Amino acid sequence: MCPTKVSGEELSSLATTMSDPKQSFTAKYDAARLYIDSLAKPVGSLGTLEDWGARMAALQQTTNPKADSAACLIFAADHGVAKDTSEGGMNCSAYPQAVSRKVLEALDHGIAGASVLSKCNNVQLRVIDVGLADGLVNYEWSGNVVRNATSRIKGGTANFCKGNAMTVEEVHMCLAVGRAETSKIIDEMELDVIMFGEVGIGNTTSASALIAALIGANVTAVCGSGASITRDGINDEIVARKNDIINEALQFHSSLQLLGNPIEALSAVGGAEICSVVGGMMEASKRDVAILVDGYIVTTAAMIACMIDPMVCRVLLFSSKSTEKGQMIAIESISEMAAANCILGDGFIVKPALDMGLRMGEASGCITSVPLLRSACAIVSNLATLNDVLSLETGK
C-alpha cells in the first residue's frame, strides 16, 4: 500500500490537534497515525513502531515525541505461599524464598541482570523493598540503587492458602507507595517513559491466582512453570503443584466476591510488589507518561490497574511476550477494557513487540525494548513525508 500524500496545511492541522487540550487521547492518537501514514514508507510497514510512535506523540501532545529520559522502577517483596512448608508456607517455587533478597543484593551491587541491561540501554534503575523477608545476615541497602519503602509489609505477605495475603489497609498502603515512588522518579528525572519490574520468589503463583480470581479464568489456562523451567523443558510436577496450590487458595477464598474486584483480590491472593506496580502504573497514567510493560507479573499488574482506572490502557506499551501462557489472557482482558471504554484508536496495538523467550523478570524485557521505543519516536520526529521526498531535486 502506498503512503498517503498529505499537504503542509493538513500536517499543520494535525499538529494543532496534537496540542489541543480539548481533544481526547484517541483523537490525538488517530491524528498521529494519519501523520505517520503520510511519511515516506508503505502505510503500516513499520508495524508496532508506528503504534508506539503515535502513542508517544499523543501522550506528549507533539509530532516530535522522545524517549530519551527512561527509568526502571523495580519493586520487591516476598510471598508467604513461597515459604517452606516447615515455616507455614506451601513451597510453591523451585527456588527458596531467600533468593529474593540475594537478587536485590546483586542489584544493589550493580551486577544483576537488570543492572547490566539498564547500563547498556541508558536507563536509570531504582529498586524499592516493599516487603522482603528478613535475611540470615543483616544487610543494609545502599540507598543508591536499592532502598526501603517508606511503608512496607515486614516479612512479606501471609500464606494465601490459609488466610488473606494482606489486609485491605496493606493493599492501599502498597498502592500509595507505588504512586509516591513513581511520582518521585518522574519528577526527579523528567521521564519520557517508565518501566516497572518485580522481584519476589513465588510471584508467578500470585499472578496466576489474581488472573483466575479476577476474570474467572481456568487455573490450568493461566498457570505456567514460573522460574522452574529449564533448557530441558517444563517441570510438569511443579506446574501441577502450582495448580493445586492456586485451586486450594481460590477454594479457601470462595466466599469472597473476587471476580472483577481488584482490591479484594489483591488482599486475598496478591503480593506487595504487585500492588506497588499497580499504584505506579496509575500514577504514570495520571501524568501521561508511557509505560513499557514487562512480562507476566507486570502484565498482571497492568490488567489490575486498568480494572481500577481504564485510562491506564492508553499508556501501556507491551514489550515482551512471556513464556507464561497467562500473560496473553491478561492482555486480552486489557484489550477488551480499552475497547469498552473507547480508548482504542485505529491501529492501536495491544500485543507484545518482542517474542524472544524472555522470562528472567527484573524488567529485563522492557529494558531491552527501550531502543525500539526510541526508534519509534525518531520515525515520527525525523522521517520525511512522501511529499518531501517527491519534491527533492534530482542530483542535488
Which residues are marked as active site? Answer: 362
- C-alpha grid cell for residue 151? 511503608
Euclidean distance between CA atoms 232 and 13, whole angstroms: 57
* Segments in 190-252 forming alpha helices (H): 203-215, 219-222, 236-252
- C-alpha grid cell for residue 134? 528478613
Angle between helix axes 48-60 and 370-382 (nearest 10 degrees) is: 70
Antiparallel, parallel or unpaired: β 193-199 and 124-131: unpaired
- C-alpha grid cell for residue 322? 512471556
CB 268 within 8 A of CB 160: yes
DSSP code at position 193 = E
Would you tell me how many other CB atoms lie within 10 Å of the CB of residue 6? 18
Sign, Cα dihedral of 78, 81, 85, 91: negative
Euclidean distance between CA atoms 221 and 322, whole angstroms: 14
Burial of 86 (0-12, 13-18, 19+ CB in 10 A): exposed
Q: What share of the chain is helix, strand, coil (3-state, %, to 5)?
A: 50, 10, 40
Beginning with the edge strand found earlier in the chain, give each strand of the sheet holding 146-148 in spatial order: 146-148, 124-131, 70-77, 193-199, 290-293, 316-318
Strands (DSSP E) contained in the chain are: 70-77, 124-131, 146-148, 193-199, 290-293, 316-318
Cα 389 off chain centre by: 38
Angle between helix axes 262-269 and 236-252 (nearest 10 degrees) is: 120
